[in-house]
A and B are shown apart, each in its own frame.
Chain A
Amino acid sequence: MATLNSRVPGGPLAQKWERHQFELKLVNPANKRHHSVIVVGTGLAGASAAATLAELGYNVLSFCLQDSPRRAHSIAAQGGINAAKNYQNDGDSVFRLFYDTIKGGDYRSREANVHRLAEISSNIIDQCVAQGVPFAREYGGTLTNRSFGGAQVSRTFYARGQTGQQLLLGAYSALMRQVAAGRVQLFPRSEMLEPVIVDGHMRGIVTRNLCSGEMQSWAADAVVLATGGYGNVFFLSTNAKASNVTATWRAHRRGAFFANPCFTQIHPTCIPVSGDFQSKLTLMSESLRNDGRVWVPTTAGDGRTPDQIPEAERDYYLERRYPGFGNLVPRDVASRAAKAVCDDGLGVGSAGRSVYLDFVEAIKRDGLDVIRQKYGNLFQMYEEITNEDPYKTPMRIYPAVHYTMGGLWVDYDLMSNLPGLFVLGEANFSDHGANRLGASALMQGLADGYFVIPYTLGGYLAGTRLGEVTTEHPAFAEAEAAASERIDSLLAVRGKRTVDDFHRELGLLLWDHCGMARNASGLTQALERVRQIREEFWQNVTVLGTPGEFNQVLERAGRVADFMEFAETMTRDALERDESCGGHFREEHQTGEGEARRDDDNFAHVAAWEFTGVGQDPVLHKEPLVFENVSLSQRSYK
């Protein structure tokens, strides 16, 4: 049986990375061009990795399923990117960023990885500025910062409400420069359907060309997956429509362990669901909570418009429950509190599933102009979608699935348990524990791609004897056949229900039982139900058209089929983790005041699942989490 070795280097925490960089073997510069590396995904992690590896001289093949690498979903990140620059002289440091991230993740992440992330954070800002990323600046010309997501220091760098877009376009431009230099071959509208393993090492992938439908094999010395998270398993999420679990799930099916799949982040400030037709949910930046006050009426079923409800009949429940942090409590806490008041019948809106985010007082205090300057674009977006003017009537918000902390298990080198398979960004599990702090996703994606993988991948290639493998190897033919067979089976069902119809049903089930609050009985029911939905899917789904052409329904069907399998492992993980931590709230484990109660004696570990077959119980492997530099405490935001 495979064992999990995190390969965390020895020595004091602050010296581990430097020491490890020295210990990693180097590839001779003249030899780099003889090594091919496949990078799947072109978001922050994938684009930065592909560009940087190409700069070093490797021969890079870059794949994405959008029509251009610039459209990866990192582009939609609004708020900002953290870095321990301490430009504001307000007490920030590498150790403080490390500590905040470990604590925010409710002590379910690996110390050494998180510390490295905090160390690297400053270099990322330097690199992005050199690329021409137009971060916000002070009048004197220095970079400006804001405090974000409840942090007590100002360490978040931003470019209006489009930080993800600007960082991604920076990485994309670096990637395009390498394409022009002939060191990166680009394959847009290509979807990875199978990994290819030869002699125990990851040696290539099979892709489907989404325009022609052609199956294609690609051989390399290593494969890097930077394919994002699995939030769309819930159908409705803030993820882009094409975001999916397929690449990581296909790798999982071939032996890569899936870690902590139950750790999903539900973001508190999203525009509520308004009808059955809805195709996705829209996030409103968390920064709104800096000035907006969250409330609901004190009486259930109060049908009055918000301006008719007097102060005395409003419950500002976050300020009441958390006087210390008020409306700025971490995402998981704010989301659960909103669910709790709605469950008590206090929610507002036609379906009673939303709460008010009110700016009246901020407008009175700071003036309309100040609020317009800070949030104008968000208010405008809100009005476009809901047809309500948030300057006059409070916004209505409700939590939505936003980010997934779980992902493929990786060691300190970001390599999975399958040698030669590296996993970066949201696709891996490594840095955010059970809850991610705001403005940390962009930081991790770029840290992994610009500054970690160039070293660790080189160390792997220099230290591993790899034979010559081409796509003539029978493992490629086998993988191509498996991928084609799956597509043929989807087309052969010829049932009555559409792919989206199944996806919605699966999503609603998971939202109800494996969403913001979970319990053993609900999870057990959900496990059973997921199997039934999956069975019906394979008997009654309708997928029209042919495999050998541009066929969007076929693409979606394949992704939903993988979500159907993944959902079971996610639910199983949530059931197995019999404690509450971060975004994973088991109703059985809460304090008297309704806060998450961890069980460090039994669950201070990473749960890494091994695939054994569809519908069969996966095998659980545990990587114990050892904390030598922080003491585990109950998070308190009172």
Chain B
Amino acid sequence: MSAGSQAEAAVSTERRASGMTFTLEIWRQRNADDPGRMVAYEATRVSPDMSFLEMLDLLNEELMRKGEEPFAFDSDCREGICGMCGLVINGVAHGPGTGTTTCQLYMRLFKNGSRIRVEPWRARAFPVVRDLVVDRSAFDRIIQAGGYTSVNTGSAPDANATLISQARAEEAMDSAACIGCGACVASCKNASAMLFVAAKVKHLGVLPQGQPERRQRGVTMLETMQEEGFGNCTNEYECEAVCPKEISTSNIAFLNREYIRNLVSLSSLRPLVTSE
């Protein structure tokens, strides 16, 4: 080993042995009926190469060794694609990274010794299950309201029968990249799911396969969004800022155009805005 890399290795070993230290304030809530509260914990010996969730794993392991119940949080793939994880870190959905999920945040982004507040997604439509875990099944019900093409297995024509320009396919893919994590809702002051709905409406709306049901789709999905208790969009653009897949608010503009056009042609449907 050269002197340089030896020194480098020594530094990194030392940093790992002593590690970084953080004060974490974590939302604890036993179940949906519990009012909940913030509880402070010390996380020590944190390596800068740890992901944020690995740091939480470490803290939970320590709690359990002391006989204390760990806090609950969701995660699954831990590579930023399943949409299962999601924490509000220091007030920002998915924390300080740009275009990343919580599981892809690394501790080297945080200042050693700092305080970090960790909260669940907060929205009426996402009730807390426990601690940092929320119920996002409202998103499934929005998709059930039209986020598909009605084509049964076996009835599809040859895949090359319809030509789709590369630009059009890429445009659809930009919207289809949504992982359904709910950060858009968590960051919105109205807890609106407009970006989520818009991404699906645009994904199918720009493709020929989505045309037969295009007129209903935007309306029924938006109606369901409201029924589930999500708010409406007032153009704050917070959703776009936190979206781990950097889905653009231009999707919402597309949705609005679809909605107005379709509402005119579907005037038999009841009006979207209902008073409570």
Bound Cα distance A500, B58 (Å): 10
Q: Which of B68, B80, B149 has the most CB of A within 10 A?
A: B149
Give chain B interface residues in 7-39, CB to chain A under 8 Å: 9, 12, 16, 30-31
Contact assessment for B166 and A498 in the assembled complex, using a CB-CB cutoff below 8 Å: no
| A55:B76 contact, CB within 8 angstroms | no
- Apart from A127-B154, A141-B166, A387-B49, what are 12 other A-B pairs with CB-CB below 8 Å? A51-B153, A76-B81, A130-B209, A140-B163, A162-B177, A174-B153, A180-B145, A211-B129, A241-B77, A279-B53, A384-B100, A542-B65
Determine which of A138, A180, A350 lies in contact with B12 in the assembled complex, contact meaning CB atoms within 8 Å: A350
A contact residues vs B (CB 8 Å cutoff):
48, 51-52, 55, 66-71, 73, 75-76, 85, 87, 123, 125-132, 134-143, 159-160, 162, 165-166, 169, 172-174, 176-177, 179-180, 186, 188, 211, 240-242, 274-275, 277-280, 282-283, 301, 303-305, 308, 350, 381, 384-387, 450-451, 454, 496, 498, 500-501, 542, 544-545, 549-550, 552-553
Contact (Cβ within 8 A) A130 B157: yes
The answer to whether B153 and A141 touch across the interface, beta carbons within 8 angstroms, is: no
B267 within 8 A of A: no
Q: For residue A210, which residue of chain B has the nearest CB?
A: B129
Given contacts A132-B172, A279-B54, contact A177 B150 (CB under 8 A): yes
Q: A52-B153, A305-B5 are in contact. Are A549 and B31 (CB under 8 A)?
A: yes
B2 in contact with A550 (CB, 8 Å): no
Contact B176 A127, beta carbon cutoff 8 Å: no
A135 to B147, CA, bound (A): 18
Task: Indicate whether A159 sits within 8 Å of B166 (C-beta atoms), given known contacts A130-B149, A132-B209, A165-B179.
Answer: no
Q: Are A73 and B153 within 8 A (Cβ)?
A: no
Segment among B135-143, B229-237, B258-266 that sits at the interface with chain A: B135-143
A136 touches B169 (CB 8 A): yes
Question: Which of B16, B129, B148 is the most central at the interface, judged by chain A CB atoms within 10 Å of its CB?
Answer: B148
From residue A130, how far is it (CB to closest CB) to chain B in Å?
Answer: 4
Q: How far is the CA of A125 from the CA of B160 in the complex (A)?
A: 10
B173 within 8 A of partner (CB)? yes
Query: In chain B, residues 192-244, which have Cβ atoms closer than 8 Å to a Cβ of chain A?
Result: 203-204, 207, 209-210
By a CB distance below 8 angstroms, the chain A residues around B82 are: 66, 71, 73, 75-76, 240
Q: Are B57 and A127 in contact (CB under 8 A)?
A: no
Give the shortest distance, in Å, between B274 (CB) and chain A (any CB).
21
| CB proximity of A475 to chain B, nearest CB, Å | 31
Q: How far is the CB of A439 from chain B (nearest CB, A)?
A: 16
Q: Which residue of B lies closest to A164 (CB)?
A: B81
Q: Does A501 contact B5, Cβ atoms closer than 8 Å?
A: no
Given A275-B47, A451-B153, A143 contacting B79 (CB threshold 8 A): no
Q: Is the CB of A274 within 8 A of B49?
A: yes
* Residues from chain B with Cβ under 8 Å of A387 in the complex: 49, 106, 108
A66 and B76 CA atoms in complex are apart in Å by 8
The verdict on A544 contacting B156 (CB below 8 Å), with A177-B148, A242-B76 known, is no
Known: A137-B169, A387-B108, A550-B72. A131 touches B47 (CB 8 A): no
B84 within 8 A of A: yes
By a CB distance below 8 angstroms, the chain A residues around B209 are 129-132
Asked if B140 and A68 sit within 8 Å, CB to CB, the answer is yes
23 pairs of residues in contact across A and B, judged by CB atoms under 8 Å: A67-B136, A73-B82, A85-B159, A87-B160, A129-B162, A130-B157, A141-B164, A143-B160, A165-B179, A172-B143, A173-B149, A176-B147, A176-B148, A177-B144, A240-B82, A242-B76, A301-B1, A451-B153, A498-B61, A500-B57, A542-B65, A544-B69, A550-B72
Nearest residue, chain B, Cβ from A542: B64
Q: Is B115 an interface residue (CB 8 A)?
A: no
In the assembled complex, the CB of B11 is this many whole angstroms from the nearest CB of chain A, namely 11
Contact assessment for B135 and A282 in the assembled complex, using a CB-CB cutoff below 8 Å: no
Chain A residues within 8 Å of B271, by CB:
none
* B68 and chain A: residue at smallest CB distance: A544
Chain A residues within an 8 Å CB radius of B133: 550
A139 to B50, CA, bound (A): 42
- Nearest A residue (CB) for B220: A180
- Measured CB to CB, the closest approach of chain B to A86, in angstroms, equals 11
Chain A nearest CB, measured from B136 CB (Å): 6
- For residue B95, CB closer than 8 A to chain A, the reply is no
B18 to chain A, nearest CB (A): 14
User: Among A67, A135, A549, A553, which residue has its beta carbon within 8 angstroms of that of B70?
Assistant: A553
Interface size on B, residues (CB 8 A): 85
Lowest 4 CB-CB distances: which A-B pairs, in order? A303-B1, A141-B163, A130-B156, A173-B148
Nearest chain B residue, comparing its CB with the CB of A70: B180
**A137/B165 in contact, CB under 8 A:** yes
- Is the CB–CB distance between B79 and A169 below 8 Å? no
Question: Which A residue's beta carbon lies closest to that of B51?
Answer: A279
Distance, CA A561 to CA B218, complexed state (A): 47
- Assess A71 versus B130: contact at CB under 8 Å? Given A130-B151, A141-B164: no
Q: Is B276 an interface residue (CB 8 A)?
A: no
Shortest distance between the CB of A501 and any CB in chain B (Å): 7
- Known contacts: A131-B148, A275-B16. The answer to whether A159 contacts B173 by CB under 8 A is yes
CA separation between A186 and B1, bound complex, in Å? 58
Minimum distance in angstroms from B139 CB to a CB of chain A = 7
Contacts of B58 in A (CB 8 A): 277
A142 to B57, CA, bound (A): 46
Are the CB atoms of A173 and B49 closer together than 8 Å?
A: no
> Are the C-beta atoms of B76 and A142 separated by less than 8 Å?
no
Given A51-B153, A134-B172, A451-B153, A552-B70 contact (CB < 8 Å): yes
Q: Measured between C-beta atoms, what is the minimum distance from B171 to chain A in Å?
A: 9
A303 & B153 in contact (Cβ 8 Å cutoff): no
> What CA separation (Å) do A73 and B82 show in the bound complex?
7
Interface centre among B9, B81, B133, B166 (most CB of A within 10 A): B81
CB contact under 8 A between A500 and B159, given known A52-B153, A242-B76, A277-B54: no
**Contact partner of A67 among B12, B69, B74, CB < 8 A?**
B74
Within 8 Å CB of B72, what residues of A? Answer: 550, 552
B146 → chain A, closest Cβ, in Å? Answer: 8
B83 on the A face (CB < 8 A): yes
A504 smallest CB distance to B (angstroms)? 10
Q: Is there contact, CB below 8 Å, between A277 and B57? A: yes
Given contacts A159-B173, A303-B5, contact A75 B81 (CB under 8 A): yes
Nearest chain A CB to B215 CB, angstrom units: 16
Given the interface pairs A68-B136, A454-B153, the reply to whether A165 lies near B81 with Cβ below 8 Å is yes
CB-nearest residue of chain B relative to A280? B78
Closest to B164 in A: A141
> Does B152 make an interface contact (CB < 8 A)?
yes
B153 in contact with A67 (CB, 8 Å): no
Which residues from A are CB-within-8-Å of B65? 496, 498, 542
Residues of B within 8 A of A188 (CB): 137, 140
CA distance A160 to B175 in the complex (A): 13
Say yes or no for B114: interface residue by CB 8 A criterion.
no
* Nearest CB on B from A64, distance (A): 11
Cα A170 to Cα B223 with chains together (Å):
22
Chain A proximity of B180: nearest CB distance (Å)? 6
State whether A134 touches B176 (Cβ < 8 A): yes
User: Are A240 and B77 touching (Cβ within 8 A)?
Assistant: yes
